[in-house]
Amino acid sequence: MDDRDKILTQLAEERWRVSLALTLAMMFIYFGFILLVAFNKSLMGSLIIPGLSWGILLGALVIISAWVLIYLYVRWTNNYYDRKIEDIVKD
């Protein structure tokens, strides 16, 4: 196995770790929300201000957190992963 193969293997492992970490973060957020809906209905139904309950607010935050995690992955890929691949291809 030459150096290029080792670098590609390390890069693939790193991409897998980043993907797994972001997936686990999203699962934690989503299932946390679902568990709150299932087991703490009174909290989720209580109003923060007229017309806005905790359930609606947290549901919106779940969606926003997905966008943020996607943004983080795309930014990491564009700034780190793709540059490393370009460096390998150039060599």
Q: Is the pLDDT of residue 3 over 90?
A: no
The phi and psi torsions of 48 (rounded to 5 degrees) equal -85, -55
pTM assigned to the model: 0.85
Least confident segment among 7-11, 16-20, 64-68 = 7-11
Q: What is the pLDDT of residues 22-47, one digit of tens each?
A: 999 999 999 999 999 999 999 999 99
State CA 9 to chain mean position distance.
23
Q: What is the pLDDT of residue 48?
A: 97
Average confidence (pLDDT) over 10-17: 96
Q: Are 88 and 4 in contact (CB under 8 A)?
A: yes
- What residues form DSSP beta bridges with 47? 53
Number of H-type helices and E-type strands within the chain: 4, 2
Q: What is the pLDDT of residue 2?
A: 83
Other beta carbons within 10 Å of 18: 16
The phi and psi torsions of 53 (rounded to 5 degrees) equal -100, 165
